[in-house]
Amino acid sequence: MRGGRGSLALSCQAVIPADVSAPLKALPREIPAEEAQPLTPQEALRLARSLEANVARALRGKAEVIELALAALGANGHLLLEDVPGVGKTTLAHALARSLDLSFARIQFTSDLLPGDITGVSVYEQRSGQFVFKSGPLFANLVLADEINRTTPRTQSCLLEAMAERQVTVDGTPRALPSPFLVLATQNPHEHSGTYPLPESQLDRFLLRLSVGYPEAGVERELLLGGGTEEELHDLRPVATAGDLRRLQAAVSEVRVADEVADYVLAIVAATRSSRFLSLGVSPRGALSLMRAAQARALLRGRDYLEPDDVKALCIPCLAHRVVLAGHGGIRPGLEREATERAIREIAEQVPVPV
C-alpha cells in the first residue's frame, strides 16, 4: 500500500484466516457470486445465529443492529452508520469482517484525502519501463469509510462508482473490485464544522442507515467492570467465509414475494411521494432496496417467503435517508433526521397491512 499525499491518515488491516469448525460447507473465495449454490432457509438461519453470536461478543446488547447489518450484507448492500463517537461503529465493522473471514480495509477520511489515495494509482517502474497499477484500500471485501463526511465531494464521489458498479476507473481503465464488496461508512450527525454533507445521489447508494446508540445501563455496567470488549474483538475467529456470504446473497433473491406484499411495498413508496411532509419521496431504486432488504431479513430468520412485517420493520432504516423533508432548509441535520424518520413511521402505520 502506497503512502498518500498530504497528511493522509490511512490504515488497512487484513483479517488472517484461522482454523475453525465452520458451521457450513464453505465455497472458495474465487467462485463468482453467480455460481454460488444458494443456502437453504435452515442453513441461513444457522449462519445468522452463528454470526450474530460471534459479533455480539464484541458489540454487546445490540442484537437488532447486528441483525440489520447482516441483512444489509445478505442483500449485497452498503451500510451507513450515523451516530456519535464511541458507541461501537468501528467495532461492528471489525467484528463483521473477522466473523466472515473477509479482507478488511479502513480509510480515515480527511479533508486532504485524494481519490487516488483510496482507489490506487499507476506507478512507473524503471526496471520494466511500464506503468504498474498499485491498488488502494478500496480493493478489499469490507471497506470501512470512517467519517465519510469529513472529506471533499470530489473524493466522496469516487466511492459512487465503486458502490454502484463494484468497480473503479483509474487512468481510463475500469478495474473490478473483489467479490463480495461492501462499504460500511460512518459519520457523526452532530458535528458540522469541517464536514461535507453527503449528496442525495450518494445517500441513495446505501441500502440501510443505522444508529448503534448508547448501550443499556446493565450492558454499560458490564463493560465498565470488564474493561470493554477490545480483547474479545481481537480474539474473534471466523465462523463463516466469503463463500458462505455469497451463498446467502444468492439465496436472498429466491425468497418468495406474494403479490399482496409487493403491492404493500408499492403503497408505502407511493405514500412517501404524496406526503405533505416530504418534498422528495422514495425512488424506484429505493423500492427495490426495501424489497431486497426485507427478503434478506426473512431469510436470516429461516423463511423462504416475505411477510409484511419484514417490510414494515425495514421502512425507517431503508427509506428515511432517501427522502427530503419539506421546508428542511433551516432545520439542523439531527432534527431533520428525527423529522424524516417520524414521517416514514407515520406512513408505515397508516398504510394498510395485507392479511
* Cell numbers placing 147: 467519517
* Cell numbers placing 210: 443505522
Q: Domain 1-17+31-249, what fold?
A: Rossmann fold (3.40.50)
* Cell numbers placing 105: 480495509
Query: 27 pLDDT exceeds 60?
Result: no
What is the pTM assigned to this prediction? 0.85
Coil vs helix vs strand at 304: coil
Amino acid at 39: L
Same CATH topology for 1-17+31-249 and 255-355: the answer is: no
**Mean pLDDT rounded to a whole number for the chain:** 87
The contacts of residue 242 (CB under 8 Å, 6+ apart) are 29, 100, 101, 102, 141, 179, 180
pLDDT grade for 20, boundaries at 50, 70 and 90: very low
Task: Please give the residue that has the higher pLDDT: either 342 or 355.
Answer: 342
Domain ranges of the chain: 1-17+31-249, 255-355
DSSP per-residue letters across 16-80: PP-----SSPPPPTTS-GGGSPPPPHHHHHHHHHHHHHHHHTTSTT-HHHHHHHHHHHHTT-EEE
The pLDDT value recorded for residue 26 is 36
Q: Domain 255-355, what fold?
A: Helicase, Ruva Protein; domain 3 (1.10.8)
